[in-house]
Amino acid sequence: MRPRDGVAETTELPYRLSIVIDTRRDSFRVTPAGWRGDRPLFVLRDYPLAPGHHQVVVEFGPEDTEVEATRYSFAQSIESRAGQILTVRLSPEQDQLVLTAAPEPERSKRSADR
């Protein structure tokens, strides 16, 4: 809804996504899409993992630490298997970052018989 004075203002709020998997660190800026920078934030990054045990830490929040806005963090030990797809995503129901595993494809009877 437009304010009474007819002037609507938006301020771009850049976020920082930091990811640590074991000893590998990655951090980058995330800005809203769209011509006006008013679209929802969306991030998709792939990090291939060797099967086994891994320490994962994800932090997501405004770059400006003085801004009052929600900051999200996830820290967990995980066990990955070959071919498994794991996703850290924001759960709107829980308002936190959660780990989910994609359903593994069913092996066809033909593959199982081999």
The whole-number pLDDT of residue 38 equals 79
Q: Decide if pLDDT at 101 tops 80.
A: yes
The whole-number pLDDT of residue 73 equals 97
Q: Backbone phi, then psi, for 84, in 5-degree steps?
A: -80, 140
Q: Are 55 and 24 in contact (CB under 8 A)?
A: no
Q: Backbone phi, then psi, for 113, in 5-degree steps?
A: -75, -15
Give tens-digit pLDDT for 13-51. Answer: 889 999 999 999 999 999 888 887 778 888 999 999 999
The whole-number pLDDT of residue 109 equals 54
Half-sphere exposure of 11 (CA within 13 A, CB side): 4
Element (H, E) at 112: helix 109-113
Q: Decide if pLDDT at 108 tops 70.
A: no
Give tens-digit pLDDT for 47-80. Answer: 999 999 999 999 999 999 898 889 999 999 999 9
Q: What is the value of pTM for the model shown?
A: 0.78
Identify the residue with better confidence: 9 or 54. Answer: 54
